[in-house]
Structure 1
């Protein structure tokens, strides 16, 4: 009895532990989902504000907003391409490592541009714009090089796979169309089955020759049908007719 209680207590503890584990895991997954949604919403709001300043505030502020928007758009597109291609192509791991190093410079430049947006001295910002524009172009050009190289690599692999698949399909389609085979040929180049199918002068004729030809025909769909003997057709005996289980037996006639 004590053993039963111990087993039940152990099962209860296991169930509680499993429930706690599942709950913690679900909370973590939900938290990651919420954080991802919040970060995406924050990026959307910030990008919308940058577009508004780009077109609504010409001059230094609009130039800074344009640089930030160009930088963020290029880096985000490259990150998405490398993230989706890395699980399928292990060779992109080196490109992803290079992009992480490039991202550090990109975040540093974006933070600097964001800080300069609140700078009241517009003249100093205008003097820094050529250098900021050059740094932005270098980072975005490097990001675009990685992005288009990864896209070209994926497209090349897709084209090679499609070509190989097309060749295999063509071979299989040709094999499926070979539903007949060539007849075997003898030493003189003639089909080996012609001699068996051609009746000899003193050999069998009529039905016997046809049966022999059918038996030796490699293209036949089945064994030759048996031909009926050349005897006169006689009427069958009605009393010898076969009986079937679904037929009713005739009632016996009354003798009275």
Structure 2
């Protein structure tokens, strides 16, 4: 019974883990759908309402777009560059401030007193601009970093291709081909001794004298 009990416990743990993953995935999907729907509503108010609600919607929309765009850029770069992980930690802190500010802006949208809205909106807009600018700085820095790495890699690859092309063009030719290109095999110049020096006058005269003498006279001597 004990092995059966252990097996049942493992099965229950697996079912619980799968159920947790399904629930988490469903919550994330529902949250994403809700965020998209709210963004659509914000766009509609920003473009159709010229009053305070439209201005607040524009601030919220720009704040959300900056944070979401930065998160997507950093998460895409983090898989290739470990240093981007530190930037993600900073972004999480920015998102915390952004969430709090978005809630305050949402509450200001429901404020019935126009003077209160006019008094609070500049302050909240300034905070939103500060968060937006910080998020954009992170996103642009990551983009510049990726662009720089891409340029360096392309430059190194281009140099390697050039070196390989030069190596392919410098092949070694056979010795006979070199001799043919030079006009045939090398022969010693006429009149030069095989020792590599020019003969003296006495050596030349002695050589000529031996040639002119009959062979018998030469042998007699």
TM-score by length of 1: 0.63
| 2:89 match: secondary structure | helix
1:141-186 deviations in Å (ceiling 9; x for gaps): 11111110111001111111122122223333443455x414469x
Q: Give the distance between the partners of 2:160 and 2:113, measured in 1 at CA.
A: 68
Residue 192 of structure 1: how far off its partner (Å): 7.6
Residue 22 of structure 1: how far off its partner (Å): 3.7
Q: Say which structure is richer in helix.
A: 2
Which structure 1 segments of 5+ residues have no match? Answer: 1-5, 201-256
Q: Give the distance between the partners of 1:98 and 1:69, measured in 2 at CA.
A: 21
Structure 2 counterpart of 1:90 = 82
1:149 corresponds to which of 122, 141, 150: 141
Structure 2 counterpart of 1:244 = none
| 1:34 match: secondary structure | helix
| 1:58 match: secondary structure | coil
Q: Give the distance between the partners of 2:12 and 2:163, measured in 1 at CA.
A: 57
Q: Give the distance between the partners of 1:182 and 1:86, measured in 2 at CA.
A: 52
Structure 2 counterpart of 1:67 = 59
Q: Work out the number of aligned pairs and report it.
A: 186
Structure 1 counterpart of 2:91 = 99
Answer 1 or 2: higher relative contact order, Cα 8 Å, separation at least 6: 2
Residue 92 of structure 1: how far off its partner (Å): 1.7
Q: Give the distance between the partners of 2:83 and 2:159, measured in 1 at CA.
A: 26
1:77 paired with 2:77, answer no
1:139 paired with 2:134, answer no
Q: 1:30 to 1:172 in 2, by over 3 A?
A: farther
Structure 1 counterpart of 2:156 = 164
Structure 2 counterpart of 1:46 = 38
1:195-249 deviations in Å (ceiling 9; x for gaps): xx85x9xxxxxxxxxxxxxxxxxxxxxxxxxxxxxxxxxxxxxxxxxxxxxxxxx
> How large is the RMSD of aligned CA atoms in angstroms?
3.1
Which structure 2 segments of 5+ residues have no match? Answer: 188-221
Residue 61 of structure 1: how far off its partner (Å): 0.7
Q: Give the distance between the partners of 2:78 and 2:5, measured in 1 at CA.
A: 42
1:69-111 deviations in Å (ceiling 9; x for gaps): 0100111111111122123212223322222222222111111
Q: Give the distance between the partners of 1:100 and 1:72, measured in 2 at CA.
A: 13
1:125 paired with 2:117, answer yes
